[in-house]
Structure 1
Amino acid sequence: MAEDLSIIKGDKTSEYQSIIPQIKALTEGEPDLTANLANTVAALKEQFGWFWVGFYLVKNDELVLGPFQGPVACTRIRKGRGVCGSSWAEAKTLIVPDVEAFPGHIACSSLSKSEIVVPVIRNNEVIAVLDADSEYLNHFDETDRQYLEEIVAALNFED
């Protein structure tokens, strides 16, 4: 596939329905995990213009920064710490309308105002999380949860 994305603007559902097949086309048949994670976050950043989007991978009992788009980020996060560590510990998607109100929030950037973290679960174990931050309060909702969970479920983590 050509590495050009077709970015559409419209309602959030339409934007996800447009970008998901493109992400699948970029990642299907490509065995390299880093390449697939990098293209996934690049496509999401390009479609939605979020402040920051990326993956943290579970390595040696902590989350370690993986491919991302946006400003520099926290490199390592302990289980249960911040939104990412909490999503990992609880094995569920967390939507945070105001990160300042989240107990134990890790402020990698003061510009981040809201966040969604989606765990990547394989064989009943969290192996990574997808993290997206917005510079706007209350930016993420159930539509984001639905489609981001669909995206991480489709990714091949057999690298």
Structure 2
Amino acid sequence: MSENLFLPDTESRVEKYEALIPQIEALISGESDLIANLANVAAALKEGLDFFWVGFYLVKEGELVLGPFQGPIACTRIKKGKGVCGTAWEEKRTVLVEDVDQFPGHIACSSASKSEIVLPAIKNDEVRLILDIDSDQLADFNRDDQTHLERLIKIIENKL
């Protein structure tokens, strides 16, 4: 796989996902190191879809610990059930938030973040890591994002 992404010249996020996800799958298919793969996934999502912040939190010793990411500096540790990431971890489900200021207990790592989608990667019924994507626009994520990102999470889960 080359180090270049090939994306359609379109405003459609769905079309970009359709082009990007197979490229991400090819990019990580030959690499066994989880951190290297997560770093490339974060970079590909940031570059390909121009999100404000894209990153991973890994479950370590009962906390989410910051892993590879692209964007401004971030919170380093998050407890289970706290904020959007901790909620996705605790509930083992995707959490889509249109306005982070309306989410009870939101952890404001950046005041520029306005909406968020968080997806858990699960193996053997345990959340192993979280994919966190933030936007600087309100209500920037929808069911199309959720569908495509859940497809990507399945690819990541197969690498765990």
- Supply the RMSD in Å over aligned alpha carbons: 0.9
Mapped to 2, the partners of 1:121 and 1:149 lie a distance apart of 11
Deviation at 1:153, TM superposition (A): 0.9
Identity, % of aligned pairs? 57
| Pairing 1:150–2:155 present | no
Matches within 5 A, 1:62-141: 62-141=63-142
Deviation at 1:55, TM superposition (A): 0.4
Mapped to 2, the partners of 1:34 and 1:86 lie a distance apart of 23
Mapped to 2, the partners of 1:18 and 1:157 lie a distance apart of 20
Deviation at 1:97, TM superposition (A): 0.2
Q: Is the 8 A contact 1:62 1:79 kept in 2?
A: yes
Mapped to 1, the partners of 2:137 and 2:57 lie a distance apart of 22
Mapped to 2, the partners of 1:96 and 1:89 lie a distance apart of 16
| Pairing 1:40–2:59 present | no
Q: Is the 8 A contact 1:7 1:46 kept in 2?
A: no
Greater CA drift, 37-46 or 4-13: 4-13
1:6 is aligned with what amino acid?
A: F
Gaps of at least 5 residues in structure 2 are: none
Matches within 5 A, 1:17-36: 17-36=18-37
Mapped to 2, the partners of 1:147 and 1:42 lie a distance apart of 17
Structure 1 segments of 4+ aligned residues over 2 angstroms from their partners: 7-10
Gaps of at least 5 residues in structure 1 are: none
* Residue correspondences, number: 158
Normalising by structure 1, what TM-score? 0.97
Mapped to 2, the partners of 1:42 and 1:84 lie a distance apart of 19
Partner of 2:5: 5
Deviation at 1:10, TM superposition (A): 3.1
Q: Give the SS at the match of 1:35.
A: helix
Deviation at 1:99, TM superposition (A): 0.1
Deviation at 1:11, TM superposition (A): 1.3
Mapped to 1, the partners of 2:124 and 2:67 lie a distance apart of 21
Q: Is the 8 A contact 1:93 1:118 kept in 2?
A: yes
2:36 is aligned with what amino acid?
A: A
